[in-house]
Amino acid sequence: MNEPHPTRQRLLEQGLLICREQGLRGLKVRELAAAAGVNLGSFVYHFGNREQFLDELVELWYAPLFAALSQTTQAHDHDSPRQRLEAVLEQLIALVAANAPFVSQLLADTLAGETAARRFALKLPWRHPRLILQLIADAQRAGELVQDDPRHLMMFLMLALGMPMLLAAGPLRDCSWLPDAAQPLIARMADPATARQRLRWAIQGLPPAASHPAPSAQGVLS
């Protein structure tokens, strides 16, 4: 495998630093080039334009995370479907904790209309959300989770696990205006151990006692 060109690598690394603090919407090509110590011509030579650069930047950040989740799934192949789902969700908690500032900025980028963020969001359902939906459907077929729409279960789990961490890393990062009594709660929102506790509560809240038939996995995942 060829090593990336050092100028290209420097631009991508500097771009990640900028986007963690300011989001994709805060990245200006001239400022990026200056921070990386390269001229604009080098940027155009390696990436063409800002949109192509941002597409590559987001993929560079996301691809290893998705690979880690896929590897966790394979590593727990001999566990029960529910255990495999829990292992992947625990891995997801760790990844969100390690990347919360970038994820929070990317969500804000998407809501703000940043085109690169929206392109990424439109492709995302076919990656780790699809993987999690498949794991939920497997656990349902094994009689280990409630029989309901897997998409509803995934939304419940994602909101319970990841959203508090993203709020703590984003809108509530500067919470000095809040009462002192709120600070410990915000710290717990960002704490991976607390998120794992929420995972246990969430899974316990989805017992296999059926109330609504779940759609087939084929229908949900197609």
Residue that is written with structure tokens 């390690």 in the block = 98
Question: How far from 100 is each of 58, 71, 87, 191, CA to CA, in Å?
Answer: 14, 21, 19, 11
pLDDT digits (tens, 9 = 90+) for 29-49: 999 999 999 999 999 999 999
Q: What is the pTM of this model?
A: 0.86
* Better-scored residue on pLDDT, 216 or 192: 192
Distance in angstroms (rounded) separating the CA atoms of residues 194 and 62: 24
Domain boundaries in the chain?
54-221
Distance in angstroms (rounded) separating the CA atoms of residues 202 and 127: 23
Class for domain 54-221, per CATH?
A: mainly alpha
Nearest to 106 by CA among 173, 159, 61, 156: 61
Question: Is the backbone of residue 49 left (phi > 0), alpha (psi -120 to 50) or beta?
Answer: beta
- Give the pLDDT band of residue 118 (cuts 50, 70, 90): very high
Above 60 in pLDDT, residue 215? no
Phi first, then psi: what are they for 73, rounded to 5°? Answer: -60, -45
Distance in angstroms (rounded) separating the CA atoms of residues 144 and 88: 16
